[in-house]
Chain A
Amino acid sequence: MKKSILFGITAALGLSAGAVFADGHGSTLDVVKERGNLLCGVSTGSPGFSGVDDSGMNVGFDVDYCRALAAAIFNDPMAVSFVPLSSAVRFTALASGEVDILARNTTWTYSRDTDLKQTFLGVTYYDGQGFMVKKDLGVNSTLELDGATVCIQVGTTTELNLADYFKANNMSYEPVPTTDNAESKQQYLAGACDTYTTDASALHGTRINLENPDDHMVLPEIISKEPLGPLVRHGDDNWADIGRWVLNALVIAEEKGITSANIDSFADTADAEIHRLLGTGDDDILAMMNMPKDAMYNAIKATGNYGEIFERNLGASSGINIVRGVNNSWTNGGILYSPPFR
């Protein structure tokens, strides 16, 4: 009798244990709407991409993308909470639901897409890995860096590219691992490493904020492809679609010449795609992903089109002065090309 009772208790506990487990993954859009704001994972500080201005506002290229997304959902670009994440914890934070979307100059790679179970939404910035050196080091090419000590942020694709590049060119190096951009910068300035390597855009942004930017240079070679873009976790395709098409809308807006300033002047345009995009026509195609009809209108109105975001954060007016290059609309000789909004 004793045995059967024990068995009964064990079985009951086992069953209840099987039944109780947390299911926190409904529709991300519903969760975000209920919460009233978007949780956006950004970098802990990368000039031009994510930072805080003098008045304490989050600013930057990645930040503006999240603001556009928030404007599309809530018609309020301020309905975002920015979560600063180091390169080492970003994927864990996204996978565990700590953030809804990661816009943290993250490189789109095969294994991150598949093995890490993330969905990349597109490319916001075509970057490549570069090297910054002090001018008085007398180095003019990365191929002269044999034996150099290299500052590198841990847990990034740049770490792997660095190993591959030096190996392919039969050169040796000594890595000095750091946890973020600030620490790399400090080590580099102290001379604990000869060169600092990361995405070229971040190098330009970092260099411009140094005390004497002219004493430093970014070497001309780009050793890797670093397509940076926002990403979400696997499992909610509609949420991924929303993020992807807000990005596409910003690109299309630039292509069509729609800016935050002139957006209202397109109400009578003959271009049907603009009507579909801005929700000014009869069709409400944004309902296909459960978004308000004027979602893209609100997004573009709030942050401007892709070109405006680029110019404000990375272009000449930001002081960082990165040329558009490949990051230009395909109509202007770049490779930004959005699928049609149809």
Chain B
Amino acid sequence: MSSVDFPVEKFRFGMLLSDTRYRSTSLQVITFIFFVAGVFWLVDNTVKNLALLDKDVSFSFLWMRAGYDINQRLIPYTNDSTHATAALVGILNTLLVAFVGCILATIIGVFVGILRLSKNWIIAKLMSVYIEGFRNVPLLLWIVMVFALLTEFTPQPRAFKGENPDASMIIFESIAVTNRGTYLPNPQWGAGSIWLILVFLVSLLGIIIFRRYAKNIQKNTGRNLPVLWVSLGIFFVPTILFYFILGSPVTLEYPYLKGFNFKDGVHIRNSFIALTLALAFYTSAFIGEIVRSGIMAISKGQTEAAAALGMRPNKIMSLIILPQALRVIVPPMISQYLNLTKNSSLAIAVGYMDVRGTLGGITLNQTGREMESMVLLMGFYLTVSLLISSIINYFNRSFQLVGK
């Protein structure tokens, strides 16, 4: 028996590309080298050019005194605080606008999307006009316009002055709408209010337990309990009852005019209102279209089958169509939330002090650290975007079809 000797090929340099065993690896290695070299070149070029300008890269400015004031701050901040604190104030302002904006945009968007499919011709057309109007005009213009409306057509605080004022506070003299913002009553948490909060939390727990119970009953017997009314009752009755039993521990501090402006109360600035509303309206137009596409993706047979079982249109929508549509709706919603968050950096147009306005605006300007501020800003937006994506992706998994 003779063995066949396959010639053992000696490794040649050319085989790195010609031999399929090596080719993909060597191509990847080459790409990686080019990538690293590119990054190295960019960094090196930047450092050398900065050196030519007699500048270095340093983040020590973050620990220096900021020296400027910020009107809206969610954490304690004065002009003696550091630039880092100023950046943090800006970050919180960005997150606030993004959070409120996303919630508003979702609520409006879902309504608009559903109503655009309405059989009522006028409502459907109105919603079309809303969607086309908002998504086809640049967001910046909407922000500036909402802000201009708020400043030009609301009264100045001075108009509330005097015997016969030109303007007066609304809803039992509790809310002042001015061209500098809206002043709301500020709740004061007196002694005993901790108990009130506890009662409220317990009743929330009660609602959850009752809903589970009602679901079980329905599963086992098919009987429907009046979930909504009972929930509302649990929500309001114990808290209100205890409010009086504890002797009204929570009082409202009403805003009042003193000097140039309203004092006390919660001041919601027009820049915040304008930015949030414009962002919410603009994004809700896109969300509306996503919702509509999600609903239309569910075959008509589902609606007809549900109707055949005797379900009412409201129930069909909330129990049959929407839960299935969510699977189509949620993934593209992520990019809308990301867009809204990133678009909030247009805040400077109305003087809202978000992170672009503090770190990327005033701090950058006063310290001249363009490079460092921009790197930090990009890092921040990147982190927030990735966080939002991962959170929604987590929820998305729970909406997907699960085999039982």
Closest to B52 in A: A25
Determine if B258 and A147 form an interchain contact, defined as CB atoms under 8 angstroms apart: yes
Determine if A190 and B67 form an interchain contact, defined as CB atoms under 8 angstroms apart: no
Known A155-B366, A159-B362: A20·B71 in contact at CB below 8 Å: no
**Interface status of A9 (Cβ within 8 A of chain B):** yes
Determine if B67 and A21 form an interchain contact, defined as CB atoms under 8 angstroms apart: no
Chain A 33-54, CB-CB to B under 8 Å as 1, else 0, gives 0000000000000000000000
- Extra A-B contacts (13), CB below 8 Å, given A1-B11, A160-B68, A177-B351: A13-B34, A14-B40, A115-B367, A117-B54, A117-B368, A147-B261, A148-B260, A155-B365, A160-B79, A179-B351, A192-B179, A192-B270, A235-B52
Q: In the complex, what residues of A have CB within 8 A of residue B45's CB?
A: 20-22
Interface size, A (range): 35 or more
Q: How far apart are the CA atoms of A190 and B350 in the complex, in Å?
A: 14
**Interface status of A187 (Cβ within 8 A of chain B):** yes
CB distance from B345 to the nearest CB of A (A): 14
Known A160-B68, A160-B366: A192·B260 in contact at CB below 8 Å: no
**Interface status of B353 (Cβ within 8 A of chain A):** yes
Determine if A155 and B351 form an interchain contact, defined as CB atoms under 8 angstroms apart: no
Q: In the complex, what residues of B have CB within 8 A of residue A115's CB?
A: 367-368
Closest to B370 in A: A92
CB distance from B297 to the nearest CB of A (A): 44
Known A10-B33, A21-B48, A91-B368: A175·B70 in contact at CB below 8 Å: yes
User: Which residues, 41 to 91 on B, are CB-close (under 8 Å) to A?
Assistant: 41, 44-45, 48-49, 52-55, 67-71, 79
Determine if A14 and B260 form an interchain contact, defined as CB atoms under 8 angstroms apart: no
Most buried by B among A115, A160, A177, A191: A177
- Residue of B13, B261, B348 near A1 (CB, 8 A) is B13
Q: In the complex, what residues of B have CB within 8 A of residue A149's CB?
A: 180, 260-261
The main secondary structure of chain B at its interface with chain A is helix
Q: In the complex, what residues of B have CB within 8 A of residue A193's CB?
A: 180
- Residue of B37, B54, B151 near A17 (CB, 8 A) is B37
Determine if B152 and A190 form an interchain contact, defined as CB atoms under 8 angstroms apart: yes
Known A17-B44, A23-B52, A192-B180: A173·B69 in contact at CB below 8 Å: yes
Q: In the complex, what residues of B have CB within 8 A of residue A176's CB?
A: 71, 180, 351
Q: In the complex, what residues of B have CB within 8 A of residue A146's CB?
A: 259
Q: How far apart are the CA atoms of A194 and B68 in the complex, in Å?
A: 19
Closest to A148 in B: B260
Determine if B79 and A167 form an interchain contact, defined as CB atoms under 8 angstroms apart: yes
**Interface status of A31 (Cβ within 8 A of chain B):** no
Determine if B156 and A191 form an interchain contact, defined as CB atoms under 8 angstroms apart: yes
Known A23-B52, A167-B79, A177-B353: A91·B37 in contact at CB below 8 Å: no
User: Which residues, 184 to 205 on A, are CB-close (under 8 Å) to B?
Assistant: 187, 190-194
Closest to B80 in A: A167
**Interface status of A6 (Cβ within 8 A of chain B):** yes
Q: In the complex, what residues of B have CB within 8 A of residue A92's CB?
A: 370
Determine if B52 and A5 form an interchain contact, defined as CB atoms under 8 angstroms apart: no
**Interface status of B357 (Cβ within 8 A of chain A):** yes
Lowest 10 CB-CB distances: which A-B pairs, in order?
A155-B365, A191-B156, A116-B368, A13-B37, A163-B79, A17-B41, A177-B351, A147-B259, A21-B45, A21-B48
- Residue of B16, B53, B261, B365 near A154 (CB, 8 A) is B365
Closest to B55 in A: A117
- Residue of A2, A13, A22, A179 near B348 (CB, 8 A) is A179
Q: How far apart are the CA atoms of A147 and B258 in the complex, in Å?
A: 9
**Interface status of A178 (Cβ within 8 A of chain B):** yes
Determine if A154 and B260 form an interchain contact, defined as CB atoms under 8 angstroms apart: no
Known A21-B48, A163-B69: A9·B261 in contact at CB below 8 Å: no
Determine if B151 and A234 form an interchain contact, defined as CB atoms under 8 angstroms apart: no
CB distance from A301 to the nearest CB of B (A): 35
